[in-house]
Structure 1
Amino acid sequence: MSQCDCTTSQHLLPLEVALAHLLEFMPDPLVSEPVELHQALGRVLAMDQHALLDVPAWDNSAMDGYALRASDLPAAGGWLPVLGRVAAGDQADLLAPQTAVRIFTGAPLPPGADSVVPQEQCRVEGGQVLLPALTPGQHVRRQAEELRRGDLLVPKGQRLRAQDIGLLASHGLARIPVYRRLRVALVSSGDELREPGQPVAGGQIYDANRYTLLSLLQGWGMEVIDGGCLADDLALTRNRLAELAGQADVLLSSGGVSVGEEDHLKLAVQDLGSLQLWRLAIQPGKPLAFGEVAGTPWIGLPGNPVAVLVTALMVARPWLLKAQGCLTDNPMPYLLPAGFDWPKARPRRQFLRGRHESCATGQQAVLHENQGSAMLSAACWAAGLVEIEPERTLKQGDLVRYWPFEQLLV
């Protein structure tokens, strides 16, 4: 990617263009490491995993009931003697002709049997069972009907969920190869910032952004190097960035990338490496920057708390997950009717704090009344982001894209 003239350009990049640029600029692939299966939640699989067994491994019963040979039962149903029982974990004996066997869910089907009748459809008297008419093969799980030995279980690049881990466990896998966690060095910028728990004087505020980002990174399965707050000093900022670049796979910062006289982060990055892009055509989140510090990628997020959240979710997240080796993450927005009017078109793509609520026609997207980029309380009220394209107006009922937080925070 060629270096942009980011210090003078007034051009705002569309979100899709910026993401395409970022996703072309990836650090070296992470090495893999084996982990115990019970420690693999949220880790990214480094190698395709294949079925070691047929699933099911044998024909088995899908019901508690009675197993039989369908041809032994008259078309209208009838009585058969019950000879034996088979529970899950048992080995089943050959089914004698003209008999049924008591069977339980998951138990292997006796050789010779081909059908199961649920117990609630049967009547038992004096060692015999009255069976209704049946369809041959009913309520039987056939060997390998779900998976055959050698089938793909979980693909490389999958962030492992509980169901993935359960599937791997069902094939006896105790250790699996995953990528090393991405090391992200996290800093905030600004003399006004103080740590929660410390006293604040006039003009000072608590550092909310670093804690928001720390929580997001942990939820995405990253290893975080907490670099603290950077003072508004160019030399100190340069030194600290250079130090952290040697420890991390990527640098992530908030603040210091706008056009103020005390915004030194962007200048420090240019001194130590290069600035690849700056300023997006989104609101909130315009002053986002991307570059590298001594060969280590850097993502510079804005300073306002909601702008930090929006750009972290919509820009940093896809880049960081790909850098972590994740190939399968693909959050999808819903289309919902707008529960509001948007009469004034805006030149930048909007990401508004909202949630979905019931209405007479089903569900609709509604907005918080305060959409300021510093108002983090609106993001706490919200359940997602409502996206409005540039230069678009809306009337209540028009469809909008709604990004639920539940897809983006994990």
Structure 2
Amino acid sequence: MNFDTFLIVDWSGGNDRGLAPKKDAIWAGVARKGKAEEPVYLRNRQVAEEWITAFLSDERKAKRRVMAGFDFAFGYPAGFGKVLTGSDDPFAIWDWFADRVEDSPKANNRFDLAGEINAMFPGAGPFWGNGLKRDIKRLPRKGNSRRGHGMPEKRAAEEMAKGAFPVWQLAGAGAVGSQVIMGLPMLSRLRKAFDAFVWPFEPLSGDIALVEVWPSLLSKVIAVTQPDDRIKDAHQVFTLAQALSALSPAELQNLLDVPITAEGSILGLGQEKLLTKAAVGPVAAPPLRNDCFALPPGVDWTPVATALRHLRENLSATTDVETVPLAEAAGRILATDVIAARSHPPTSNAAVDGYGFAGPAEEGDHIMSLQSGRAAAGHPFKGKVKAGHALRILTGADLPKGVDTVILQEDAHVTDKRVTFQGPLRQGANVRQAAEDMRAGKRILRAGRRLTPADLATGASAGIGAFEVQTQLRVGILSTGDELVTAGQPTGAGQIFDANHPMLSAIVAAWGHKVVDLGRAPDDKAKLRGILDDGAGQCDVIITSGGASAGDEDHMSSLLEDTGTFALWRIAMKPGRPMAMGLWQDKPVFGLPGNPVAALVCALVFARPALEVLAGGRWPAPEGFTARANFTKKKKAGRREYLRARISNGRVAIFPFEGSGRVSGASWATGLVELDERARDIKPGDPIRFIPFSSFGI
């Protein structure tokens, strides 16, 4: 959905505010292409409607599509229209008010009109808050004076929007009811004058759309960005107009994709993070420091723990942020905390099939009358269960009024008229309490988490339709060496098939990153330079294998050294040892050993956590467990060793050949035995640490 201009209006139900700009007045904000103009002060509703009408006319003449947002409710709670107009059509409500509201800069009839509307309802209310000195028949001054009017206190939108006030309050702090009554007539006239389409009452089309907004969705941004010389109301329309105009068409469509409802809704409700991101603008990931890989002076052989700690302390996210639909979010890394849009369960409901009543039930026999009807999931019982009565209720059904306890159907004897069972049964038995799992407004998932299928269920249950995630880390995979040939291709003298490239590509893909195939580089410094230049333009990080030491043909080390960011780590580990690291055009490069098993182990131990942090995630420490060895091994002190291993008959067996060129051992193994730097004399039955490959994310 594409709009050229965004107009945001902060409306007022009060009287004329005078010539000088003031708070609690009417303000209009306009933005195009992510840039907002200085807000316009409109002293009263008559001036405002004239200005808005002229503005929309000018935009239409300029052939610009306009989204016009107004900060008051476009509708009332379900059932109101039926009483007022005999129809659920929200536009009938607009026209009803347009025909009856009398308005001038200094006076209007909103309080008297509210009293007349209250007379259409039973009991007292639903409107309240008489702001005049004289009494008005059937309009209570206080909200707690109302009773029996039959209307919900809030629309579904206000229930979701933390801090939103109900539309029934006409006076006092937080009163929004007057804004609605005085705003709907204007909307009715604008809709007819411009053939405007209204969200979310109808699909948007044409060149002018009217939408309901609430600047408080951006309250945190507004609070920290408001200039000292700008009134808060003015800054609200400025910020919201700018945020909406900064959204891409797909992001805006994401806000608009809500069910059509006669109550109306608030644009962006539940998508506050997307709006906030648009309001603050793109946040570029900071570049890595040139010395991020440099170890302290004098360090030669680096213990594994020291190398890991150095990476953890010096690397940070290099990816950007994007919004993706829930269905596409599995495996992505959360860029921001996820806040529940709705409680789960939203209402208290039955955990079993049975019979609901008002508990508790003391020890002994209980006989209750069986009330007619039933409650089922998706089909709530609309009446109230009488005291001393029980109602048939099915698993997942909302608890009706008068029910707080459920007796399991297998524990009850039922006839056409009675339910009998044995107590005791505590109050609340067999009931899932509202919000016992997740509460609206509370954090349910933390930033940095890689989303699992279960996380999607958690988010969906809490009303989350999209996630703000880090863009996928683009990892270039490059093999080096004249001796390498793609498997299946003809080989020449001294050539071998490239095992590292497919292995590392598959590992990186399994970790959830995007693989960029950089192919193979010959032992030619100039050609390798060109491949790295090309890779830096496509990738966020590059992983190479081979050429990572200091030999005549180790051109990778030589090129990185020329950048002034080169670090050759001699890791005190086996297999592995040499790792070359540095920055190429500000993109990190990890140079792994050329032997396949050494490349595999270094990738699992070092590349995996480093890439996760660069991708915006948390540092993942592998989880191993203690098991008994079924092998014998003497180990010298000084280096950490990783042995290819598998569990066999409840004990750990190791691959009998330790050479890092024996690729088949990696296929045979299901994990690694990790032996720390101490000398060991391992015998069968000794405890050792086994780390499954699954703990390394493969």
* TM-score, normalised by the number of residues in structure 2: 0.55
Match of 2:677 among 379, 383, 390: 390
The answer to whether the 8 Å contact 1:273/1:293 transfers is no
Match of 1:110 among 396, 400, 410: 400
Could you tell which deviates more after superposition, 187-196 or 288-297? 288-297
What does residue range 315-326 of structure 1 map to in structure 2 within 5 Å?
315-326=606-617
Equivalent position of 1:375 in the other structure: 662
| Alignment check: 8 A CA contact 1:336 1:401 kept | yes
**SS of aligned partner of 2:534:** helix
Secondary structure at 2:302 match in 1: coil
Q: Structure 1, residues 92-124: CA drift from partner, whole Å, max 9, x if none? A: 231112221111111111222221121222222
2:513 is aligned to: 222
The answer to whether the 8 A contact 2:640-2:675 is kept is yes
Instruction: State the distance in 1 between where 2:400 and 2:504 align.
Output: 57
Q: Given the alignment of the two structures, is residue 403 of structure 1 paired with residue 691 of structure 2, yes or no?
A: yes
Q: Secondary structure at the match of 1:246?
A: helix
Give the corresponding residue for 1:134.
424
Q: In the alignment, what sits opposite 1:14?
A: 303
Task: Please name the residue that 1:337 is paired with.
Answer: 628
User: What does 1:44-55 correspond to in 2, within 5 Å?
Assistant: 44-55=333-344
Determine what percentage of the aligned residue pairs are the same residue: 38
Q: How does 1:76-115 map to 2 (within 5 A)?
A: 76-83=364-371, 84-92=373-381, 93-115=383-405
Per the TM alignment, residue 217 of structure 1 is displaced from its structure 2 partner at its CA by 1.2
2 CA distance for matches of 1:143 and 1:3?
51
For residues 587 and 494 of structure 2, the distance between their equivalents in structure 1, rounded to whole angstroms, comes to 33
- 1:2 and 1:30, CA in 2 relative to 1: closer, same or farther beyond 3 A? closer
Displacement of 1:310 in angstroms is 0.7
Moved more, 125-134 or 59-68: 125-134
How far 1:5 moved relative to its partner? 9.6
Q: Compare 286-295 and 121-130 and name the one that shifted more.
A: 121-130
TM-superposed CA distance for 1:375, in Å, is: 1.8
Residue 445 (structure 2) aligned to one of 148, 154, 171: 154
Separation in 2, partners of 1:257, 1:346: 25
1:209 to 497, 500, 504: 500
2:344–2:461 Cα contact (<8 Å) kept: no
Matching of residue 293 in structure 1 with residue 584 in structure 2: yes
Task: Please state whether the residue corresponding to 2:300 is helix, strand or coil.
Answer: coil
After superposition, give the CA deviation of every residue in 1:196-219 in whole Å (9 maximum; x if it has no partner): 231223321111101111111111
Deviation of 1:54 after TM superposition, in Å, equals 1.9
Q: Deviations over 1:279-300 (max 9, x none)?
A: 2111111111211223221100
Shift of 1:85: 1.5
The residue number in structure 1 matching 2:58 is none
**1:144-179 superposed Cα distances (whole Å, 9 cap, x missing partner):** 222221111111111111111111111222222111
Pick which of 269-278 and 29-38 moved more: 269-278
Aligned to 1:261: 552
Q: Measured at CA, do residues 203 and 117 of structure 1 come closer, stay the same or move farther in structure 2, by a change above 3 Å? A: same
Local SS of the residue matching 2:310: helix
Contact 1:275 1:291 in 2 (8 A): yes
1:187 Cα deviation from its structure 2 partner: 0.4
Larger Rg: 2
Is the 1:257–1:288 contact (alpha carbons within 8 Å) kept by the matching residues of 2? yes
Matches within 5 A, 1:56-71: 56-71=345-360
User: 1:117 touches 1:134 (CA, 8 Å); kept in 2?
Assistant: no
| DSSP 3-state at the match of 2:363 | coil
Q: Is the 8 A contact 1:159 1:328 kept in 2?
A: no
Instruction: Confirm whether residue 244 of structure 1 aligns to residue 535 of structure 2.
Output: yes
- Does the 8 Å CA contact 1:386/1:403 hold for their aligned counterparts? yes
Amino acid at match of 1:279: R
Q: In structure 1, what is the equivalent of residue 81 of structure 2?
A: none
Shift of residue 39, structure 1, vs aligned partner? 1.0
Conservation of the 8 A alpha-carbon contact between 2:636 and 2:679: yes
Which residue in the other structure is 1:365 paired with? 652
CA distance in 1, matches of 2:580, 2:365: 75
1:383-410, Cα deviation, whole Å (9 max, x unpaired): 1111001233123333222211112125
Q: Is the 8 A contact 1:349 1:390 kept in 2?
A: yes
Query: Are 1:282 and 2:578 an aligned pair?
Result: no
How far off is 1:347 after superposition?
3.0
CA gap of 1:127–1:340, structure 2 versus 1, over 3 A, is: farther
User: Residue 29 of structure 1: CA displacement?
Assistant: 3.6
Secondary structure, in 3 states, of the residue corresponding to 1:239? helix
8 Å contact 2:331–2:451 — kept in the other structure? yes
Q: Deviations over 1:44-97 (max 9, x none)?
A: 1111111112222111111111112235x5631333232222111122231112
> Do the aligned partners of residues 226 and 82 (structure 1) sit closer, same or farther apart at CA in structure 2, a change above 3 Å counting?
same
Q: Which has the bigger relative contact order, CA under 8 A and spacing at least 6?
A: 1
Contact map agreement 2:568 2:578 (CA 8 A) in 1: no
* 1:23 match: 312
Seen in structure 2, the aligned counterparts of structure 1 residues 29 and 240 have a Cα distance that, compared at 3 Å, is closer
2:457 matched to 1:170?
Answer: no
In terms of mean alpha carbon deviation, does 243-252 or 205-214 score higher?
A: 243-252
Q: From the two aligned structures, give the one with the greater helix fraction.
A: 2
Q: 1:74 to 1:22 in 2, by over 3 A?
A: closer
Shift, 1:317, TM fit: 0.5
| Pairing partner for 1:232 from 509, 523, 533 | 523
Cα distance between partner residues in 2 of 1:258 and 1:28: 27
Q: What is the alpha-carbon root mean square deviation over aligned residues?
A: 2.2
Does the 8 A contact of 1:242 with 1:272 survive in 2?
no
Q: Aligned equivalents of 2:529 and 2:384: distance in 1?
A: 78
Q: Which runs of 5+ in 1 are unaligned?
A: none
Residues in 1 aligned to 2:436 and 2:299: alpha-carbon distance in whole angstroms: 60
8 Å Cα contact 1:58/1:108 also seen in 2: yes
Checking the alignment, whether the CA contact within 8 Å between 2:370 and 2:416 is kept in structure 1 is no
Confirm or deny: 8 A CA contact 2:362 2:424 kept in the other structure: no
Instruction: Find the aligned partners of 2:388 and 2:316 in 1 and give their Cα distance.
Output: 69
Maintained 8 Å contact 1:307/1:373: yes
Select between 40-49 and 82-91 the one with higher mean Cα deviation: 82-91
Structure 1 residue 3 displacement after superposition: 7.6
| Distance in 2, Cα, partners of 1:263 & 1:276 | 14
| CA distance, structure 2, for counterparts of residue 36 and residue 231 of structure 1 | 42
Q: Give the match's secondary structure for 2:531.
A: helix
Partner in structure 1 of residue 561 of structure 2: 270
1:145 is matched with which residue? Answer: 436
Secondary structure in structure 2 of the residue aligned to 1:343: strand
Greater strand percent: which structure?
1
Question: Aligned pair in 2 of structure 1 residues 120, 4: CA closer, same or farther (>3 Å)?
Answer: closer
Indicate the residue corresponding to 2:135 in structure 1.
Answer: none
